[in-house]
């Protein structure tokens, strides 16, 4: 039986409730209060619900399989309060699959697993009746988040599952899967630690996973190579099937995701999920449109889908039930999967109210859960600029951070022109942008201008609202950018600049983010948008840990220094203004600063940092005294130091950083 072949038949009337199928505006849509569940399983009965206030009929279809075959039962649901359609089915339905089909606007919209499915079959087309308790790995009840004292202690590591483990020389068995991050003590053929052991050795505090919710671009039923970043959401509340060892069995992807989180937590590493609530892969064929047409998306005045995302649609977070949806979804990932934070893709499409509601809801669970996002959008969202969760409005969103394109672009060069360099390429004029980034984007007497926005003096109210980085999955990674901007450079010159760039990031008062593999000087063969490129481009070759061991050790040393010395991560704008002072260098391509007055817990007095992008050595004036050098000319040694200098000047070698203290 198929609803679509019975177009002449009136939808089955299922109850005596009067129905309203259209509302004056989206503000008039009824709001479903309470927990938004679409399937609640018990061994004796399963309750199905769907919020579909414009429906005139909703059918529930039950299947024995997650794909193929005919529905075993097609049952009309009953219309209830606030647009909620419900149906109770007695008996034990565990192992069954289901879809909804909504009739509105004179037609059946087509099957959907709903908008809140928590378990799905292959490719996410049908939802599954499961008991979530069956998905908890052994020891899950004892899983705890690693302690986090302050957001300023965070060091982020941005990773795609496949990039991190696909190289056969990773020594990992479950390559490209969630389980890759459960394999401890793995090594490359050269004896270097890989996988989770590498992360522990590096010292990062948070792994930021590229989209790991169910996305649509990869056919989960095909074994051959497929790669995608995954910014094409299908089911927001289910892990992606292609990262599981068995995408057909609904419990498997859920259990394996939890195993991954649990192992990372045991290793002392928190887990951040990259979430993309700003758009969906499909529109008319997607779950939102097949449930409540029009409600979840913004439109342009001409009636076309608003497209600030650049992906065909943009969601309408400002509407009551879309906001509730986003808030409930992140809370679900925290509570069911023990996720520790979220990176919001194109956060500038969402409204401020929604992001504050997310912060508020997470605070009630655990205020150490971290939230940050891209404070911009690919296009112009259909909402007034003062309502949007953009970088410029971050001051109105306490506890939420945004990426700094100022620090990134001052180091590597502008967005949209890959061959144009900046500070690292030895081009003058980027010192102010670097200082702004070092101060963590706050208002500071010596960083009076946001380089890209002269009308603003700063955008972050606190340095923990500012993500410091030089490269991420988007655009050329750092090694490639150095090649395009310095085509005549030697490998050793680029290696030196890689270290200099990460020194700026890791001595910034903002929250540092490292793109996975930059610590090994990975490249992507010049591919800037590798969202579906082969493993030969995207996967981190672990032999680089041997070839560039020197860079790895250097970045490891920077991380250890940052963790051991609170002066590098004061976490408070007032403290940064008090203790961070820039030193005039009188030179292009050089930035110097001191961290003085020993903020609480700091042992080093008068820390001097010099970043020199010139091809010649420089001398920077400092107060007369004896300085102990910990970092110089591409070497860092926290334990023994690199000697002392007495006098009123400190040197910095070409294209390198100098860090010393009294």
Which residue, 275 or 476, is less far from Ca ion as judged by CB? 275
Q: What CA–CA distance (Å, rounded) separates 208 from 230? A: 14
Q: E strands along 404-506, which residues? A: 466-468
Q: What is the CB neighbour count within 10 angstroms for residue 10?
A: 9
Q: Is 646 exposed, middle or buried (0-12, 13-18, 19+ CB in 10 A)?
A: exposed
Which residue, 54 or 242, is less far from Ca ion as judged by CB? 242
In this structure, are residues 153 and 275 in contact, taking their beta carbons and an 8 Å threshold?
A: no
Phi, psi of 321 (to 5 degrees): -80, -20
Of 81-89, 232-240, 508-516, 558-566, the segment contacting Ca ion by CB under 5 A is 232-240
The 240-279 contact track toward Ca ion, x by CB under 5 A, reads xx--------------------------------------
What is the residue whose two structure tokens read 């529109």?
283
Interface positions, 196-215, toward Ca ion (CB under 5 A)? 214
In this structure, are residues 442 and 461 in contact, taking their beta carbons and an 8 Å threshold?
A: yes
Of 113-121, 238-246, 249-257, 442-450, the segment contacting Ca ion by CB under 5 A is 238-246
The 510-549 contact track toward Ca ion, x by CB under 5 A, reads ----------------------------------------
Say which of 345, 418, 502, 572 is annotated catalytic: 345
- The backbone region for 110, taken as left when phi is positive above 0, alpha when psi lies in -120 to 50, beta otherwise, is left
Of 239-247, 348-356, 431-439, 458-466, the segment contacting Ca ion by CB under 5 A is 239-247
Which residue, 241 or 541, is less far from Ca ion as judged by CB? 241
Phi, psi of 40 (to 5 degrees): -120, 115
Does the annotation count 374 as an active-site position? yes
Which residue, 241 or 517, is less far from Ca ion as judged by CB? 241
In this structure, are residues 237 and 249 in contact, taking their beta carbons and an 8 Å threshold?
A: no
The 9-28 contact track toward Ca ion, x by CB under 5 A, reads --------------------
Interface positions, 578-637, toward Ca ion (CB under 5 A)? none
Interface positions, 550-569, toward Ca ion (CB under 5 A)? none
Q: What CA–CA distance (Å, rounded) separates 59 from 86? A: 10
Q: What CA–CA distance (Å, rounded) separates 152 from 154? A: 5
Which residue, 214 or 523, is less far from Ca ion as judged by CB? 214
Q: What CA–CA distance (Å, rounded) separates 168 from 253? A: 23
**Beta carbon of residue 217, minimum distance to Ca ion (angstroms, whole number):** 8
**Beta carbon of residue 473, minimum distance to Ca ion (angstroms, whole number):** 19
**Beta carbon of residue 603, minimum distance to Ca ion (angstroms, whole number):** 50
Query: Rounded to the nearest 10 degrees, how much is the dihedral formed by the CA atoms of 331, 332, 334, 336?
Result: 150
Residues binding Ca ion: number (CB under 5 A): 3
Of 236-244, 418-426, 485-493, 568-576, the segment contacting Ca ion by CB under 5 A is 236-244
Q: What CA–CA distance (Å, rounded) separates 210 from 231? A: 8
Q: Provide DSSP, 53-70.
A: TT-SEEEEEEESSSSSS-
Give residue number: closest CB to Ca ion: 214
**Beta carbon of residue 214, minimum distance to Ca ion (angstroms, whole number):** 4
Tokens of 218: 């990869």
Which residue, 66 or 241, is less far from Ca ion as judged by CB? 241
Q: What CA–CA distance (Å, rounded) separates 92 from 237? A: 23
Which residue, 203 or 241, is less far from Ca ion as judged by CB? 241
Which residue, 243 or 554, is less far from Ca ion as judged by CB? 243
Of 182-190, 234-242, 394-402, 405-413, the segment contacting Ca ion by CB under 5 A is 234-242
Which residue, 122 or 369, is less far from Ca ion as judged by CB? 122
Work out whether 232 is an interface residue with Ca ion (CB under 5 A): no
The alpha carbon dihedral of 627, 632, 638, 642 has a sign of negative
Q: What is the CB neighbour count within 10 angstroms for residue 525?
A: 12
**Beta carbon of residue 37, minimum distance to Ca ion (angstroms, whole number):** 22
**Beta carbon of residue 58, minimum distance to Ca ion (angstroms, whole number):** 25
**Beta carbon of residue 230, minimum distance to Ca ion (angstroms, whole number):** 8
Q: What CA–CA distance (Å, rounded) separates 157 from 288? A: 32
Which residue, 153 or 256, is less far from Ca ion as judged by CB? 256
Which residue, 238 or 339, is less far from Ca ion as judged by CB? 238
In this structure, are residues 256 and 179 in contact, taking their beta carbons and an 8 Å threshold?
A: yes
**Beta carbon of residue 231, minimum distance to Ca ion (angstroms, whole number):** 13
Q: Give Dmax over CA atoms of the chain in angstroms.
A: 93
In this structure, are residues 347 and 388 in contact, taking their beta carbons and an 8 Å threshold?
A: no
Interface positions, 19-78, toward Ca ion (CB under 5 A)? none
Of 177-185, 235-243, 527-535, 593-601, the segment contacting Ca ion by CB under 5 A is 235-243
Q: What CA–CA distance (Å, rounded) separates 517 from 476? A: 13
**Beta carbon of residue 177, minimum distance to Ca ion (angstroms, whole number):** 14
Q: E strands along 500-549, which residues? A: 511-515
Q: What CA–CA distance (Å, rounded) separates 520 from 426? A: 23
In this structure, are residues 309 and 278 in contact, taking their beta carbons and an 8 Å threshold?
A: yes
Tokens of 570: 């004061």
Q: What CA–CA distance (Å, rounded) separates 613 from 632? A: 13
**Beta carbon of residue 224, minimum distance to Ca ion (angstroms, whole number):** 16
Non-local (6+) Cβ contacts of 523 within 8 A are 477, 479, 480, 483
**Beta carbon of residue 117, minimum distance to Ca ion (angstroms, whole number):** 12
Say which of 153, 374, 431, 518 is annotated catalytic: 374
Report, as residue numbers or ranges, the catalytic residues.
Answer: 345, 374
Q: Which residues bind Ca ion (CB under 5 A)?
A: 214, 240-241
């Amino acid at each position: 039986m198929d609803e679509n072949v019975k177009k002449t038949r009136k939808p089955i009337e299922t109850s005596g409730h009067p129905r309203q199928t259209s509302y004056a505006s989206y503000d008039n849509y009824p709001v479903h209060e309470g927990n938004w569940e679409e399937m609640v399983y018990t061994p004796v009965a399963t309750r199905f619900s769907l919020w579909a206030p414009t429906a005139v009929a909703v059918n529930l279809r039950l299947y024995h399989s997650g794909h193929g075959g005919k529905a075993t039962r097609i049952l009309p649901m009953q219309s209830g309060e606030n647009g909620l359609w419900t149906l109770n089915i007695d008996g034990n339905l565990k192992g069954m699959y289901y879809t909804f089909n909504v009739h509105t606007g004179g037609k059946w919209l087509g099957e959907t697993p709903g908008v809140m499915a928590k378990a799905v079959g292959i490719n996410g087309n049908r939802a599954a009746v499961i008991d979530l308790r069956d998905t908890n790995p052994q020891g899950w009840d004892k899983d705890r988040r690693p302690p986090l004292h302050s957001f300023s202690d965070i060091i982020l590591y941005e990773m795609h599952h496949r990039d991190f483990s696909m190289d056969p020389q990773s020594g990992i068995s479950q390559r490209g899967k969630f389980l890759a991050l459960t394999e401890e003590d793995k090594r490359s053929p050269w004896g270097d630690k890989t996988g989770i052991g590498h992360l522990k050795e590096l010292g990062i505090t948070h792994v930021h996973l590229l989209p790991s919710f169910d996305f649509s671009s990869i056919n989960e039923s095909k074994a051959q190579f497929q790669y995608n970043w995954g910014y094409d959401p299908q089911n927001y509340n289910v892990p992606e099937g292609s990262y599981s060892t068995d995408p057909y069995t609904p419990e498997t992807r859920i259990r394996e995701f939890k195993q991954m989180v649990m192992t990372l937590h045991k290793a002392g590493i928190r887990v951040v999920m990259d979430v993309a609530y700003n758009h969906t892969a499909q529109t008319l064929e997607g779950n939102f449109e097949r449930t409540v047409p029009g409600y979840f998306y913004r439109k342009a005045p001409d009636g076309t889908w608003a497209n600030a995302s650049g992906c065909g649609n943009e969601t309408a977070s400002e509407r009551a039930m879309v906001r509730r949806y986003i808030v409930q979804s992140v809370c679900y990932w925290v509570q069911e999967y023990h996720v520790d934070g979220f990176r919001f893709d194109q956060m500038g499409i969402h409204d401020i109210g929604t992001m504050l509601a997310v912060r508020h809801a997470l605070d009630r669970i655990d205020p150490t859960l971290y939230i940050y996002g891209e404070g911009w959008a690919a296009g112009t969202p259909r909402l007034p600029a003062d309502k949007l969760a953009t970088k410029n409005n971050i001051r109105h969103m306490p506890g939420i951070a945004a990426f700094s394109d100022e620090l990134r672009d001052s180091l590597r060069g502008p967005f949209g022109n890959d061959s144009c360099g900046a500070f690292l390429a030895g081009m003058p004029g980027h010192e102010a942008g670097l200082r702004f980034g070092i101060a963590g984007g706050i208002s500071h007497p010596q960083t009076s201008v946001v380089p890209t926005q002269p009308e603003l003096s700063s955008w972050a109210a606190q340095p923990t609202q500012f993500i410091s980085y030089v490269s991420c999955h988007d655009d050329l990674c750092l090694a490639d950018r150095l090649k395009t901007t310095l085509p005549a450079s030697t490998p050793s010159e680029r290696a030196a600049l890689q270290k200099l760039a990460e020194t700026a990031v890791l001595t910034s008062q903002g929250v540092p983010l490292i793109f996975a593999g930059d610590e090994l000087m990975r490249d992507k063969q010049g591919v800037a948008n590798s969202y579906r490129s082969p493993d030969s481009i995207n996967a981190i070759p672990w032999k680089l840990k041997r070839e560039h061991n020197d860079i790895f050790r250097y970045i490891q040393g920077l991380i250890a220094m940052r963790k051991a010395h609170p002066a590098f991560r004061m976490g408070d704008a007032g403290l940064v203004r008090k203790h961070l002072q820039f030193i005039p260098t009188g030179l292009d391509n050089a930035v110097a600063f001191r961290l003085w007055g020993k903020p609480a817990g700091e042992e080093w007095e008068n820390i001097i940092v010099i970043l020199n992008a010139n091809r010649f050595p420089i001398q920077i004036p400092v107060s007369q005294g004896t300085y102990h050098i910990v970092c110089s000319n591409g070497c860092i040694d926290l334990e023994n130091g690199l000697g002392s200098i007495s006098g009123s000047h400190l040197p910095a070698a070409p294209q390198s950083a100098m860090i010393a203290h009294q």
